[in-house]
Amino acid sequence: MATINTKEAPVAPVPQQNDNIAHALAGAGGGILATALTYPLITLSTRAQVESKKSEASFVQAVQRIVHREGISGLYSGIDSALFGISLTNFVYYYWYEWTRAFFENAAIKSGRVSKKLTTIESMAAGAVAGSLTVLITNPIWVVNTRMTAGKREEALPGAKLVKPKGTVATFLSVLKEEGLAGMFAGVMPALVLVINPILQYTVFEQLKNALEKRRRVTPKDAFYLGALGKLMATSVTYPYITVKSRMHVASKDAPKQGMTETLKRIINEEGVGGLYGGIGSKVTQSVLTAAFLFAFKDALYDQSVRLRRNIAK
């Protein structure tokens, strides 16, 4: 992933391995803080994605319905698995992004290239490698989180009887018992397609950051706005696949198994093209805010991660 320039920060140089881990730790910590701040929006967008068009409601109505039926805690359903998932996702992503980034930078130095900053193609390649590895490692966590966040479909409909949601471990064991290992990798294909989301996001971020660095040092405030812009563009382009992935995550074990293309066609046939964009308002808002906070927090946490690892090494 693209990172904020820290070369001017008063931190002593560290080996690349430590640098990778410091970026990974900062990314994990930033992800936890950003997700915790925006989680109610995640709940709203996830429920809108998995519910049919018949049950759609306005933003305010959706909040009121959840609070009325489940209390304030309903807006935070599944947050424990989400925080665990985002910390692991960001750790894996940042580690492999920085590893790939270092590979390209070293290759640039050896080839005698004037600038070792990543080109657009190199940024996209680094994002593709890191994103694909992250999806394969963390997909089971997000299946569990989506099941918990969405709840049973009938619970989301007006007048339906409320059923107490299962915990993280209970949901995990339930999916594993009823659907086997395949259930843990439901939606993995659209998730791999969605690797293009961070590729777009961090390519935009990287190139804008490089342009800004030619004039001055990038600050956490700059990172907030650049991260928000990159995520806005990426999420707007890839949202239909986010909906398809969520639907596949919550598909009943008794329902006919459908692949990514079949799920996409079914949504369009039953709900029209608009069905692919359910909850896009809250999702885009949440994604943009989360990305913006993540970049701002990560920049602040990176130096602390380096110092912590250096002190531990001593």
The lowest-confidence range among 143-147, 152-156, 232-236, 297-301 is: 152-156
Q: What is the pLDDT of residues 171-206, one digit of tens each?
A: 888 878 888 877 888 778 877 877 888 788 878 888
The lowest-confidence range among 137-141, 214-218, 282-286 is: 282-286
Residue 233 lies in a domain: yes
Residue 64 lies in a domain: yes
Residue linked to tokens 């994990």: 28
Residue 290 lies in a domain: yes
pLDDT of residue 5: 44
Residue 11 lies in a domain: no
Q: Would you say residue 73 has pLDDT above 60?
A: yes
Rg (the chain; Cα; Å): 20
Q: Select the highest-mean-pLDDT range: 60-64, 165-169, 265-269, 284-288.
A: 265-269
Q: Which domain holds residue 32?
A: 16-306
What's the rounded mean pLDDT across residues 26-34?
90
pLDDT tier for residue 32 given thresholds of 50, 70 and 90: very high
Domain count, the chain: 1
The one-letter code for the residue type at 139 is N
Helices in the chain by DSSP H: which ranges? 16-50, 59-70, 79-111, 120-150, 168-184, 188-193, 196-213, 220-250, 260-271, 280-313
What's the rounded mean pLDDT across residues 130-148?
83
Contact 82, 145 (CB under 8 A): yes
pTM (two decimals):
0.63
Cβ-Cβ contacts under 8 Å for 91 (sequence gap 6 or more): 24, 25, 27, 28
Residue 6 lies in a domain: no
Residue 269 lies in a domain: yes
Residue 313 lies in a domain: no
Look up the CATH number of the domain holding residue 238: 1.50.40.10
Rounded to 10 deg, the angle between the 120-150 and 168-184 helix axes is 120
